[in-house]
Structure 1
Amino acid sequence: MSTTTPGARSAPAPSTPARLERQRRIDEAVLGLLREQGPAAVTMEAVAARAGVAKTTLYRRHPDRSALLSSTLGRAIVAWDASPEGDVRQRVRAALEECWRQLRDVLGPGGVAGLLRDEDPAYTAAVRGVLVGWADALRRLVDADREDGTVRADVDPDAVVTLLLGSYLGALLWHGEAPPALLEGCAELMWAGLVGPGPAPTTTATTAPTSPTRS
């Protein structure tokens, strides 16, 4: 006789090799469509067809497209391990390299273009949602470095996150790609800005006194 409490939810089905393989195909389908054609191409129908699964299977795992995007991107955009190992210069380079890799290899041209156009609120929200953990880890690291004097006390953690993301977009706009040599140059500039002298004190311009005019 069953002893299940009325109204209690059943435990989720355990992951089996077959279930994991289906999820892998679904993830690859979502990311492939995103990279190649942009977020508008990521529909439940297109993903099911590309992954070779029934739409009912897809809907059992993800109730709607927004949930599908959030779930897939959450697995694909791996949170950066913001460990304190290495000096500031090494950590800046590692953070920049990981940020560029996520944008290049996970989102790809179609995904990045979709963010810039901002025509798909569900997609934009999904990307921003999964970037929160990565950005928070970086902010904590910058805060710790400010406290122990490793970087300048006036460094803004949000500005660091913005520069990491913006440098990749700037490289695409100016060069059409983001080559490794450019990454090295950006990392060096960011490192210099983090540890270099602070902004010069603001001074009030004064006008030199003029000699009285003789008649």
Structure 2
Amino acid sequence: MVARTGLLVGCWGTAALLAVVLLVSLLRSEPTGADTPEAAVARLLQGIADTDPVAIVAAIDPAEADDPRRAGAAYDRLGERLLREGEAPPLDVTAVLAAAESQLDGSVDLTAVATVAALDLELEGLDLRSVPDPDDLGARRVFVLAGDLDVTLDPDRLPESRAGLGKASYSMPLAQGWVRDREEPIEPFLVAVERDGRWYVSLEASADGLLGPAR
């Protein structure tokens, strides 16, 4: 549960994307993608920290963002096999993250939105470096060299159904503590791809690079 929650801290915003992608795609008004691979990854991570589904969608490869089944399959692969070891989040933070994920499974639920709203996320000290992707020389692997995702739970903003939890905080280092299949250490990266002169994050290519081809 500790390792699974670690992934939730980093990726729950992507789960939210899968639930609202069709709605959000109709609301896009800002330019999508980014000028560089690093900027695309930074935009995705900042969108997660800001709990901003529009920003998340704007950073994802359009072919995947417009097909929730493709994005969902990649997210599930990451959730099943990419885990964290190390310091455990407080139990109250774990409870909120688990509740948010379960409530965001397939539909947008007002209770889920209220639960997520009780969390403040701050992205601090992000440092990224990109190298050519050996599996696709037109893509780039963007490694996370440093950075923390700080999570603070404000129980006063929780819905009544989640009453009883206390104020808690947790800082997750993004550049360390990741393991594949519970045993093999992983240096974390996301794969950026270029589409019409703009860079986007590919969840599928990231899952393939981190975990190997789909089983």
**For the superposition of Structure 1 and Structure 2, which TM-score range results when normalised by the shorter chain?**
under 0.3
Larger Rg over CA atoms: 1
Larger proportion of strand:
2
